[in-house]
Amino acid sequence: MIDVLAGMRPDSWNFPLFVHVLGATLAFGAVMAAVGTLLLTPGGGGDPEGLRRFAFRVLLFVGLPAYIVMRVGAQWIYDKENLDAAPEDPTWVSIGFIVGDAGLVVFLLALVLSGIALRRRHSGLGTAAGVLGAVLLVGMVIAVWAMGAKPS
Amino acid sequence: MELNDWILSLHLLAAALLVGAEVVFGAMIVTLWRENSSVRVNSFFRVSQIATWMVQAGSAGTLVFGVWLSISKDPYEPWNGWIIAALVLWAIAGGLGARAGQAYGAAGMEARRLAGNGDVSSHLVGETFGPSTAFKLHVVSNVAIVLLLIDMIWKPGA
């Protein structure tokens, strides 16, 4: 099994891996910011609309581009490692793809809901977006664990 | 799975927390740029608490699990050049980030105190959430974190 982060690898893999890791960590932070804002700030801390705007913008302007960079980087390093040549993906790669692709749907739902919550000043929709973000965060934690522990 | 695999996982999770915290702080700084409304700044108090917890857990986790890996995993040793460079960058990022955090924290506490008396504008708060020394420290700290990530992936000299 190819040890992506900790082992020796060709230099040509480093940049795609950097793109993937940077995108993933930025996306993680953006989702964390939105979840923290939408779920853990009771009453909006005096400025509920400002916080909903913050959550929506951080998802749109940081989270979405970072998520795309993460996913493109993942495919890039996947191709570099010739993992598609194997009869089936290792478990850790499958976990990464499931979280990456299903997570994008969850991410987009959270983004749209937070946008509607901002437009309609609807705290319930904001909470729903926060719950979706929290689900995505759990998936991201599992994916990060899989990238490191590499269960076969 | 071996113990080293678990340690690497925890190291990566800590790194995600650390970079994630910087995203939260960065987004807050951009959102509150030159903001002097105490109520507006105070509304981010809880979010800043979460980010502070993230940066503390992330900093401690990356260091502890990173050093542990450098000892337990072949062929690495704690005195390898790229690991020493990582430790130096970690110290720079942490030291500057902590100083920036103190300044932003002081402005946040001032906003919290003033918000209790209604929406009072504060020169200190508006100045801190602008092109202040705290902001410059935050930027340099983030540059150090990106360099740290580059060092971890390229492992120069390994």
Residues B129, B100: Cα–Cα separation, whole Å: 11
What is the tally of structural domains in chain B? 1
Mean pLDDT, rounded, for B42-55: 92
Residue A103 forms part of a structural domain: yes
Residues A148, B90: Cα–Cα separation, whole Å: 20
Amino acid identity, position A36? G
Residue A3 forms part of a structural domain: no
Residue A136 forms part of a structural domain: yes
Q: Could you say which of B9, B27, B40 has the minimum Cβ distance to residue A58?
A: B27
First to last CA, chain B: 24
Q: Does B13 touch chain A (CB under 8 A)?
A: yes
State whether A26 and B23 contact (CB < 8 Å).
yes
The range of the structural domain enclosing residue A60 comes to: 12-149
The range of the structural domain enclosing residue B129 comes to: 3-154
What is the tally of structural domains in chain A? 1
Residue A6 forms part of a structural domain: no
Q: Could you say which of B5, B21, B40 has the minimum Cβ distance to residue A29?
A: B21
Match 């319930």 to its residue by tokens: A124
Whole-prediction pTM = 0.90
pLDDT tens, residue by residue, A90-117: 899 999 999 999 999 999 999 999 999 9
User: Could you give the ipTM of this predicted complex?
Assistant: 0.89
